[in-house]
Amino acid sequence: MEKSALQIARAAYQPKLPKALQGPVKVKEGAATQSIGNQAEIKALFPNTYGMPVVEFVPAESENQEAINVGIILSGGQAPGGHNVISGLYDGVKSLNRNSKLYGFLMGPGGLVDHKYVEFTDEFIDEYRNTGGFDIIGSGRTKLEKEAQFESGIQILRQLGIKALVIIGGDDSNTNACVLAEYYAAKQYGVQVIGCPKTIDGDLKNEQIETSFGFDTACKTYSELIGNIQRDCNSARKYWHFIKVMGRSASHIALECALQCQPNICLVSEEVEQKQMSLDDVVEYIAQAVCQRAADGNNFGTVVIPEGLIEFIPAIKVLIRQLNEVLTDPATGEPREFKSADEQIRFVLDNITAENRAVLESLPADVKRQLCLDRDPHGNVQVSLIETEKLLSAMVAKKLAQWKQEGKYTGKFSAQHHFFGYEGRCAAPSNYDADYCYSLGYNASRLISNGKTGYMSVIRNTTAPAAEWIAGGVPITMMMNIERRNGADKPVIRKALVELDGAPFKYFASKRDEWARQTCYVYPGPIQYFGPTEVCDQCTKTLALEQGK
């Protein structure tokens, strides 16, 4: 495999580890825990893995040196740093005993169910150290939810002598990890299950998990692109750029990119919902900013839009919730099947409330059709396919044309559109993500060697130098509550939304009026891997503000 000069240089990079993981460790246990909501229901569903303590690793004189066989799964969408989690876990189990083995299940959880796997070797792992992507074993979106899947999995785990399974994923994947850990514990199968917090969207975090891996790299990648667009925007001075970034369920990416780049406008879905803004309210907010800049002679600007904005507009959110329910077969929990698109649209219109039908009919025809037809594998609306950036710019243009006829606006408006999604998911990890992910994987090996199951690998204090990071684990049940999903109540890890009373949003809110009127663009440039610490090893502005740094 031919490599670029950067790949060759990055292969030599040795990720930094917390001091506590640089030698033998022992467990320091905290108090018993409980779930963040629905305590009685979660405890009843997870009797064998509920209430366990948060654990922290501290240096010890010696530790368990038995050989262990471990399996690993990449689940869900890609995120920068996944390969370093695997290399960290590999080095971790090998540091305990050179006879330990690590197996990777191919193309996600489906590889466990279908018994498709590969055994890692030194040569194999070395090809992927500090690289982006999930191509080492691939990823998939198969959900581990059914007993038949668990039983199929245990067959291959026993065949390979695997005593522990590490599942790298987001909130849904780690919910599945918790369900699997409970099942194997209840059956006394002797297989531990450990989760690892992955998602570029940044919505898998809480008091114990400071950030999900990949968020740092993805935001820096998007911010470079936004900065480049802003430099062009400020040079040509004739376009408004509408830039949609990933983040369906939360606006963490949009907010972080705004903190890094200082665009004229950044919409935050959580605020739109809290203020009960309609689609027209959002359009008017943008149009007013365009008018203000035009009055100053600036017929250009940038607008950053979170991918899931549409879903947070209250009336549309209610509509989408009902669409997800009526298009799910209550008998099977699977998406309903229809003979044609027209039949599906008729079914939707006949089975939603009059209020929701009115909201649906008020939307542009293409958006209406997407909401009715496009579903993901789990039957949910494909919000990412709705071209919100084009929808908003068209509606802003219409609003400005109306204002021009009324003599309220005399500027010029021309729009360009961008969607940054896949561009950030497989970038070579920043130094922060390279170190953080390697530590998460290495730390998982210590959770396994200390007999833990149903835990998430966590690394904290990550705004400090890596040697001062704190390594340990948190029970996955601690993060769970009951939520309505596709017509049924299910135990899930609660998503972390942008906190409107949190330091990152408050800082943004204090600056946005200035950024809207003036041209305050910042141009972050590409990720830097070599050079001064203050350039290469910095965490996101979101994390720094949250930690008061």
In this prediction, residues 84-107 reach a mean pLDDT of 98
Cβ atoms of 451 and 11 closer than 8 Å: no
Q: What is the pTM of this model?
A: 0.94
The amino acid that residue 323 corresponds to is L
Instruction: Give 114 or 336, the one with higher predicted confidence.
Output: 114
Cβ atoms of 130 and 11 closer than 8 Å: yes
Q: Supply 36's token pair.
A: 């963040």
Cβ atoms of 473 and 457 closer than 8 Å: yes
The residues with which 71 forms a beta bridge, in sequence order, are 103, 165
For residue 480, pLDDT beyond 70: yes
Please name the residues in contact with 107: beta carbons below 8 A apart, sequence gap of 6 or more. Answer: 116, 137, 138, 139, 140
Cβ atoms of 427 and 211 closer than 8 Å: no
Cβ atoms of 307 and 384 closer than 8 Å: yes
Candidate list 201, 203, 216, 537, residue with the active-site label: 201
For residue 480, what is the enclosing H or E element? strand 480-485
What average pLDDT is seen over the chain? Answer: 95
Q: Which domains does the chain have, with CATH numbers?
A: 17-214+429-493 (3.40.50.450), 215-425+501-526+535-546 (3.40.50.460)
pLDDT of residue 200: 96
Q: Is 435 a catalytic residue?
A: no
For residue 157, pLDDT beyond 90: yes
For residue 78, what is the enclosing H or E element? none
pLDDT of residue 172: 93
Per-residue pLDDT of 485-512, as tens digits, reads: 767 899 999 999 999 999 999 999 999 9
Residue closest to 483 by CA, chosen among 35, 33, 34, 38: 38
Confidence grade of residue 532 (pLDDT, cut at 50, 70, 90): very high
For β-strands 162-169 and 117-119, DSSP reports them as unpaired
In this prediction, residues 59-67 reach a mean pLDDT of 92
Q: How far apart are CA 378 and CA 363, in angstroms?
A: 24
Instruction: Give 174 or 549, the one with higher predicted confidence.
Output: 174
Per-residue pLDDT of 425-468, as tens digits, reads: 999 999 999 999 999 999 999 999 999 999 999 999 999 999 99
Residues in the chain: 549
Per-residue pLDDT of 366-416, as tens digits, reads: 888 888 887 776 667 777 788 999 999 999 999 999 999 999 999 999 999
